[in-house]
Amino acid sequence: MSERAYDIESRSFKIIEAEVGKHSYDSLEWSVVKRAIHSTADFDFAGSHGIVFGKDVFRSGFDAIRNRCSIVTDVEMVQVALNKSLISSLGLKTVCNISNEAVINESRVLNRTRSEVAMRYSVQDIAGGIVAIGNAPTALYETIKMINEQTAIPALVVGVPVGFVSALESKRELVMTKIPFISNNGRKGGSAVASSIVNAMMLLYQQTQSGF
């Protein structure tokens, strides 16, 4: 990051801190929430649509990163927004099967969404990995289904699909699982939110790995 870019980011974080004021997040959680706000300029992610953390997400997420896990995304917009420098330095890989020809063909034959089928095609990478869903509630539902079936147990699910149909409901189902998760209240979400959360997790791991 250039000195000018770092200065802009630093000033942005100071504005966020000042405008949010007091909050209930601990230091690790706030680092994630702050980056989600930074990526969207939406203060609701610390308010009515606030980001929620469940079931020891940092230990589980950090362990997955330490083990050089895969990061599986629902759409390419999330995948391309992940910090490539961090991905490389931490020895991770990203996976998105939404444009896989086999996925496209199977979704047509089975009359299922590409997002659902893509998650099934990613089963080996989901097991022990990090799943980041910012757009497709059907991808989140399918991930939850695989968890309940014990087909694939991820280390962490970042489930922040955006929209009016099933986005809120799929998040509520995620909260009911026994898997560490990061989600948010309400219909808001999206690629920028999902990728910023994963980027924050990687950066926090890099910063804290020596003493966590």
Distance of alpha carbon 48 from alpha carbon 111, whole angstroms? 36
- Residue partners of 12: CB distance under 8 A and separation at least 6: 38
Q: What SS3 class is residue 91?
A: coil
Beta strands 51-54; 93-95: pairing state: unpaired
Q: Is there a contact between 161 and 171 (Cβ–Cβ < 8 Å)?
A: yes
Known catalytic residue: 38? yes
Q: Which of 34, 35, 38, 120 is catalytic?
A: 38
CB atoms under 10 Å from CB of 56, counted, come to 11
Catalytic residues: 38
